[in-house]
Structure 1
Amino acid sequence: MKKFALLSTLLLVGSAFAASPKDTLVIQESADIPTLDPGVTYDTASGAIVENIYETLLTYKGNSLRDLEPLLASKLPTISNGGRTVTFDLRKNVKFHTGNAMTCRDAEYSFERNLVTNSAESGNWFISESLLGTGSNANDDKTITWARIDKAVECNNAGQLVFTLPKPDPAFLAKLAYTGQSIVDSKHAISIGEWKGTEADWKNWVGKDLTGSNLNKQPSGTGAYRLVRRDANATLLQAFDGYWGKKPAIKNVVIQKVPEIAARQQAFLRGDADIIEGGGRSVDEQQIKGKPGVAWLDNLPNTSAFAIFMNQKIQDPALLGSGKLDGKGIPANFFNDVNVRRAFSHAFNYQQYIQDVQQGKGKQRTMLLPDTFPGYDSEVKTYSFDAAKARQYFQRAWGGNVWKNGFTLTANYRAGSVPSQTAMEILKRNIESLNPKFKVNIQQKQWSEMLADSKKGREAVILIGWAPDYADPDNFLYTFYSSNGFYAPRSNFKDASVDKWLEQARATVNTAQRNRLYSLVGNRVYEQAPYINVPAPVAYTFFRNNLQGVSAATFNPMTSFSYTGTLWKDLSKK
């Protein structure tokens, strides 16, 4: 224990040592960690830790994107009442990190807490849609009562967890495998000041932001790792001695925030770090691949989608300059004009991005949907880099005033992300080359700040992506394109036809009909150009070659947010 305490102190202050010990996993990345509360975990940096502290009822089997298996459930559920009743038996002899025994009450509390605190930013909207028939919370939808929430998830006399759905949802079980639906320690949560789990104070917690909650500061899950220490630059976790499953070979996990990619690369190549956030394929193949001590795993499934957002209602005056089309700024609704959006779309050099960032291993998708998912239409048109067309659209924009007067705007990118920086540099260079009156300022911004500001509509142009919560096209297309979707506050895109088709697709289980509707969405979105679709890379990962447990057979982007596609408990070192 003295050795561990000394090691944790050195790591937390950022000091390096000769090599990462055999029982310790060291991860370095540029992003900060917004939260450790599963009820509001909805970003990859947070999820990579939360999924190892907490556990869900179900999880994905092996590397499958569709097959589920029990985790905290003891077996797959019984489904009855025409698909509207789902009953789970829970695993016995499971303990939380506090030592409290997991009971059905903990599961009931976890899901009710998610329904009560639900907000568009929490990731609970999709479970609320399944259990309450709406993605809204009680503040936004007055028909939601405590009685409805209480009835949606209950423990019966046999200690089974019973979900009651207003209508069948074929994606419901997959939604339960999402990290945000993890089971929390209800006794512990209540004892540290979280919701009491009763009707008495539920209204005080409706829609409440849990990012900085007490549970975020003092998490207690059933997972293989427990939190030891956390500060702005590092997070330290330790294997949980009371874990119900196989004891992990990795005893300590340290996640360090290292913004500079060169520093991360040096630490990795020295062996001080086992896994790092890379700089995109071009950087990683040049600086990392083939070097001593490096294992490289390529041609992995890519189930994410990234886009450059063009916010049609910018809420931050600081990004607007003069607030006018006078060459010194932009109006808040600058991107309302479809000609501006089309011009930006033609000003991005997609093939250059594929070559410079993805080393030629990239694909320009027609829609913001993984091309391996149902609903993807390869026949939808795509934008190409075309300076002449970009110039034409800019000349039409805002009655010719954009071209005549020019503009100045500010685009932010995630600090430490080389691919994001490169994308913004490509866009800046090409736009500014069209007209000397065009000015695009790009600047880096901390991940948590960007998330917080963008959800309030306070970003003008940013590059962010989406990793699936569950394997269904709705999880991408509704998210990006619906005016009620998760990203709506960030883009403020609204199209009546798109909204109608997406709602119709949600209301049918007929695959052919859904695919037809999604094709309509894809073609309409091409016309409206709400986003610049960033080419999708062929996925890969790299890690120190003494790290065992990472392979194509175990890599699952649905199960794990981590760079290895594998939970820490399944890793070891030789």
Structure 2
Amino acid sequence: MKKLALLSTLLLAGAAFAAAPKDTLVVQQAADTPTLDPGATYDTASSQIVENIYETLLTYKGSSLRDLEPLLATKWTISNGGKTYTFDLRKNVKFHSGNPFTCRDAEYTFERNLVTNAAESGNWFLADSLLGVGANANDDKSITWARIDKAVECNSKGQLVFTLPKPDPAFLAKLAYTGQGIVDSKHAIGLGEWKGTEADWKNWVGKDLQGSKLSASPSGTGAYRLVRKDANAILAQAFDGYWGKKPAIKNVIIQKVPELAARQQAFLRGDADLIEPGSRANIEEQLKGKPGVVVVDDLPNTSAYAIFMNENIKDAGRLGSGKLDGQGIPANFFSDVNVRRGFSYAFNYAQYISDVQKGKGKQLTMLLPSSFPGYDAKVKTYKYDPAQAKAYFQRAWGGNVWKNGFTLNVAYRAGSVSSQTAMEILKRNVEALNPKFRVNIQAKEWSAMLNDSKAGKEPMILIGWAPDYADPDNFMYTFYSSNGYYYPRSNWKDASVDKWLEQARTTTNQAERNRLYSLVGQRAYEQAPFILVPAGVGVNVQRNNLVGATAQTYNPMVGFSYTGTNWKDLSKK
């Protein structure tokens, strides 16, 4: 305990070690940790802590994105045409509070997530599966306590039973999401959280749990328990009562260090074992080849980025004259497929890979990571082709785009070199086609861009998506469906695409789902609603005495993004 007290003192004082002790993992990152409540976890910084304190029913097997294995469950069966899931639960498991893990804790956890389901949490996709709608009871009055209570129950055998209104082939992957970590119900209720009954459920509907009492005092079944937390650091310790294999790393310290140079210096000294290292260029210029440094490269990509072309721009202030007279654009400028194709051919994908990704990039055929099931490498892609771009611009709007020209006002994320470079490439190539073409670009704060794009105000925006769960629906529906999360940013709608995506959501036949996603990808190529930005190749750095984190063990769905593995699987030599 004396050593733990010393670590805690050093941690909260912001002090550095001469070298990180062998039984202690020191991580430095730029961001703080918004929450330690699983019900509010919807960001990487929180996920990488929460997944080590809490555990889900099942998890990803090794580095696979397709295979799942039991964690707090021991097995499961699927019946009733894919609408009923029954889980046997692990015995002799304790929470950090000392309370035993029971089926009631699992039931409480999922009901709590369905009841609260705040706007900025990841519970919308759980609600979509179990209630048939992603909203909470405040936003959808058809949601009742009876529906929530029926969706997840414990039977007389102590098994956890989920009842879905319709089959969902992505349901198991959703249960592996960090935010579905099982909560200690007695501990939570004792803190003053929801009581788990109908009596007070309405008081918790839509409630933001980010700053909950459970966030300040978590109790999970994970291999690590929280010791201390302040605005700049977290100290976790291996849980003596853990049901699984005892971790080699006893203490984990997460420090907030906003300055990249300071993180890199601490890493090179050995004060930190893992850091948020910055871009590939930062790694190659500042860290690669230095003593004690291991670069883990060629990691799988699990994100997709695109430049959205908004077909219904809802901000007159961004339209200039509002006409095709060379001084502006109409609100529906991008509704002409020839305009969208012209821009798609004007983007230099190879240059972006060279300038931004240092040659370590890959052009995607669809807005789905190539490592995911459902990805079709045979779907056609756009290439930089000024002649094709010119031909389509000449056809656009009956020839008026080429004849009169246009002025397009777009923004990029302030401080993002990659976003700025992408927009500069597009601006330069489009303006080179016709002296009457003008693309004005300017930096804009990300929070403002997000809000404005969600309201349909941004003519263009470069934005991406990282997965909540390893299923193609999480990307394909999000980007391409007119009911998807990103629809207001593009206002692109295709009846066939919507039909195919809805069909893919309810069939459990993976081959049929793959066929439907290929149809969506090909249709999107033809209609060009997005400019597909090349995907980067993942790269991490770590100290050479860290064991257990390799390219072969890396799983991008594991929240601890610096290693792609959990703390309990790491050791130091």
Residue in 1 aligned with 2:274? Answer: 275
1:188 alignment partner AA:
H
Distance of aligned partners of 1:456 and 1:215 in 2 relative to their CA distance in 1, 3 Å threshold: farther
1:265 is paired with a residue whose SS is helix
1:21-100 correspondence to structure 2 within 5 Å: 21-73=21-73, 75-100=74-99
Q: What do the CA deviations read for 1:417-463 (whole angstroms, capped 9, x no partner)?
A: 654554455445556666684320124647xx876776666766554
Cα offset, 1:498, TM superposition? 1.7
In 2 relative to 1, CA 402–373 (structure 1 residues): closer, same or farther, beyond 3 Å? farther
Task: State the TM-score, normalized to the length of structure 2.
Answer: 0.86
CA shift at 1:50, angstroms? 1.6
The letter for the 2-side match of 1:412 is: R
The amino acid that maps onto 1:559 is: V
Larger Rg: 2
Do the aligned partners of residues 427 and 224 (structure 1) sit closer, same or farther apart at CA in structure 2, a change above 3 Å counting?
farther
Matches of 2:139 and 2:457, distance apart in 1:
22
| Unaligned 5+ runs, structure 1 | none
Equivalent pair of 2:326/2:404 in contact (CA under 8 Å): no
Q: State how many pairs are aligned.
A: 568
Mapped contact 1:320–1:332 kept (Cα < 8 A)? no
Q: Contact (CA 8 Å) 2:48, 2:560: kept in 1 or not? A: yes
SS in 2 for 1:138: coil
What is aligned with 1:117?
Answer: 116
Distance across 2 between alignment mates of 1:218 and 1:424? 44
**C-alpha deviations, 1:16-45, integer Å up to 9, x for none?**
443323232222333444433222322323
2:69 partner SS: strand
Q: Compared with structure 1, are the counterparts of its residues 463 and 210 closer, same or farther at alpha carbon in structure 2 (3 Å cutoff)?
A: farther
1:513-561 per-residue CA deviation (whole Å, 9 max, x = no partner) reads 4333222211222233333322123333221111111123422223344
Pairwise mapping of residues 459-478 of structure 1 onto structure 2 (< 5 A)? 461-478=460-477
Aligned to 2:482: 483
Q: How far apart, CA to CA, are the structure 1 residues paired with 2:177 and 2:76?
A: 16
Q: Would the aligned equivalents of 1:412 and 1:461 in 2 still touch at CA under 8 Å?
A: no
Q: Is 1:105 aligned to 2:109, yes or no?
A: no
Q: Deviations over 1:304-338 (max 9, x none)?
A: 32333445567789x94979679999887775565
TM-score (ref. length: structure 1): 0.86
- Aligned partner of 1:363: which letter? K
Q: Give the C-alpha shift of residue 565 in structure 1.
A: 0.7
Q: Deviation digits for residues 242-283 of structure 1, max 9, x if unmatched? A: 333223222332333344433332222222222222333344
Structure 1 residue 110: Cα displacement: 0.8
In the superposition, relative to structure 1, how do residues 405 and 345 fare at CA in structure 2: closer, same or farther (>3 Å)? Answer: closer
- Structure 2: unaligned runs, 5 residues or longer: none
Moved more, 504-513 or 182-191: 504-513
Residue 222 of structure 2 corresponds to residue 223 of structure 1: yes
User: What is the SS of the residue equivalent to 2:89?
Assistant: coil
- Label 1:16 to 1:104 Cα distance change in 2 as closer, same or farther (>3 A): same
User: What do the CA deviations read for 1:469-498 (whole angstroms, capped 9, x no partner)?
Assistant: 333322221121112223334544433332
Counterpart residue identity of residue 527, structure 1: E
Aligned residue in 1 for 2:356: 357
What CA distance in whole angstroms lies between the structure 2 residues aligned with 1:171 and 1:91?
Answer: 23
Output the amino acid matched with 1:104.
Answer: C
CA–CA distance in 2 between the matches of 1:246 and 1:458? 52
Matched residue SS, 1:76: strand
* Cα pair distance change 1:254/1:389, threshold 3 Å: farther
Q: Residue 164 in 1 paired to residue 193 in 2? A: no
Post-superposition CA distance 1:103-158 (Å, at most 9, x none): 21110011111222235642223322332233333344433321121111111223
Change (3 A) 1:424 1:499: same
Residues 159, 314 of structure 1: alpha-carbon distance in 2 compared, 3 angstrom cutoff: farther
Per-residue CA distance 1:326-374 (angstroms, 9 max, x = gap):
9999887775565654454344321122223333232101101122434
Looking at structure 1, the residues matched to 354 and 540 of structure 2 have their Cα atoms a distance apart, in angstroms, of: 18
Contact kept? 2:307, 2:530, Cα under 8 Å: yes
- The AA in structure 1 aligned to 2:67 is D
Distance 2:310 2:252 in 1: 38
Secondary structure in structure 2 of the residue aligned to 1:478: helix
Query: Do the aligned residues in 2 keep the contact of 1:330 with 1:409 (CA within 8 Å)?
Result: no
Are 2:407 and 1:406 aligned? yes
Whether 1:573 aligns to 2:566 is no
* 2: CA distance, partners of 1:491 / 1:382: 19
Q: In 2 relative to 1, CA 168–239 (structure 1 residues): closer, same or farther, beyond 3 Å?
A: same
